[in-house]
């Protein structure tokens, strides 16, 4: 029961974070949006971090933390940039490809193998994404993958898919709570480094509307990552990532209702296929 609640919370928080990331990207850069969001999350984590004996962890553990932080930061910046260029209802379902990335990386890093039923369900989720990409305005073809928003989204999910396996490694070697704190700190540190090396720093970090958006993003990301970490302790990475694709349905609604995005019938058909596939995994 608690795992189901965590999955639902993760789905809703992820979609809401994507919504406000897209809104924020309309006025400031993806790097600034990411930096402010992770700064807020890091401030929230300072007090609980003081009660942890950080010197007890090995060099290998910290290496995993660094790699996960880099992958998370680069992936999130790419995602926000993609959202500023493309439609929420199109880019969100593409995230289903993360299941394959997570599956492949978890096989090598964690030794987790999917069952035959789980593998079939994962393939169905990916199949559903073709309906989302095959719109009347731009029929699906190889050229679709040359669109900048699609390329950035695919790059983002590759980063986050591989990151998921490193996160589970960190969770196994510590706890899901410690992993969450480190996720926030490492994400902020990597975002700060990228910001400092950025040539153009003209965007105002303290603009009120952006602070509000980034605060919502930060709160949603903390909920998303804490529930993600908890679910990773209860099921294989590949299976969990497949379930998380249900967030596409929420993003589909946001895209239609808030951004007036079109071709929703095909996108809905593809999303339903993904939902049914994820449902089979849940029943099992």
Residues 6+ apart with CB under 8 A from 23: 213
Distance CA 77, CA 264 (A): 27
Which run of H or E residues covers position 219? helix 208-232
Secondary structure (3-state) at 27: coil
Backbone angles phi, psi at 115, to 5 degrees: -75, 170
The pTM (predicted TM-score) of the whole model is 0.80
Q: Which of 157, 162, 168, 186 is nearest to 66 (CA)?
A: 186
Supply the pLDDT for residue 239: 72
263 phi-psi bin (left φ>0, alpha ψ -120 to 50, beta other): left
Distance CA 117, CA 110 (A): 20
Q: How many CB atoms lie within 10 A of CB 1?
A: 5
Supply the pLDDT for residue 43: 96
The first and second tokens of residue 258, run together, are 């808030």
3-state secondary structure the chain: CHHHHHHHHHHHHHHHHHHHHHHHCCCCCHHHHHHHHHHHHHHHHHHHHCCCCHHHCCHHHHHHHHHHHHHHHHHHHHHHHHHHHCCHHHHCHHHHHHHHHHHHHHHHHCCCCCCHHHHHHHHHHHHHHHHHHCCCCCCCCHHHHHCHHHHHHHHHHHHHHHHHHHHHHHHHHCCHHHHHHHHHHHHHHHHHHHHHHCCCCCCCCCCHHHHHHHHHHHHHHHHHHHHHHHHHCCCCHHHHHHHHCCHHHHHHHHHHHCCCCCCHHHHHHHHHHHHHHHHHHHHC
Distance CA 243, CA 96 (A): 9
For each of the chain's 284 residues, which pLDDT tens digit applies?
A: 788 899 899 989 989 999 999 888 888 888 888 999 999 999 999 999 999 999 999 999 999 999 999 999 999 999 999 988 888 877 877 776 666 666 676 677 777 777 777 777 777 777 776 776 665 456 666 666 778 888 898 899 888 878 888 988 999 999 989 999 999 999 999 999 998 887 665 555 555 567 888 999 999 999 999 998 898 888 877 677 777 877 877 888 888 888 888 777 877 887 777 767 766 655 55
Domain ranges of the chain: 2-283
């Amino acid at each position: 029961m608690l795992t189901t609640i965590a999955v639902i919370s993760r789905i809703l928080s992820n979609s809401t974070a994507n919504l406000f990331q897209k809104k924020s990207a309309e006025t400031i850069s993806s790097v600034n949006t990411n930096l402010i969001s992770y700064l807020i999350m890091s401030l929230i984590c300072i007090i609980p971090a003081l009660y942890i004996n950080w010197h007890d962890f090995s060099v290998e553990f910290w290496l995993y933390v660094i790699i996960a932080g880099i992958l998370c930061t680069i992936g999130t910046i790419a995602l926000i940039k993609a959202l500023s260029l493309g439609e929420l209802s199109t880019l969100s379902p593409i995230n289903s490809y993360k299941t394959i990335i997570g599956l492949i990386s978890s096989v090598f890093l964690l030794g987790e193998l999917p069952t035959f039923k789980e593998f079939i369900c994962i393939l169905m989720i990916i199949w559903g994404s073709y309906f989302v990409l095959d719109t009347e305005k731009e029929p699906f073809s190889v050229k679709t993958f040359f669109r900048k928003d699609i390329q950035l989204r695919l790059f983002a999910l590759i980063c986050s898919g591989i990151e998921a396996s490193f996160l589970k490694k960190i969770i196994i070697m510590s706890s899901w709570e410690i992993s969450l704190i480190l996720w926030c700190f490492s994400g902020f540190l990597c975002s700060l480094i990228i910001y400092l090396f950025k040539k153009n720093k003209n965007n105002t970090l303290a603009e009120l509307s952006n602070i509000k958006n980034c605060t919502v993003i930060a709160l949603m990301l903390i909920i998303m990552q804490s529930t993600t970490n908890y679910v990773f302790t209860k099921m294989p990475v590949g299976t969990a990532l497949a379930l998380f694709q249900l967030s596409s349905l929420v993003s589909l609604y946001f895209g239609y209702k808030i951004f007036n995005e079109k071709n929703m019938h095909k996108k809905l058909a593809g999303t339903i296929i993904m939902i049914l596939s994820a449902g089979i995994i849940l029943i099992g």
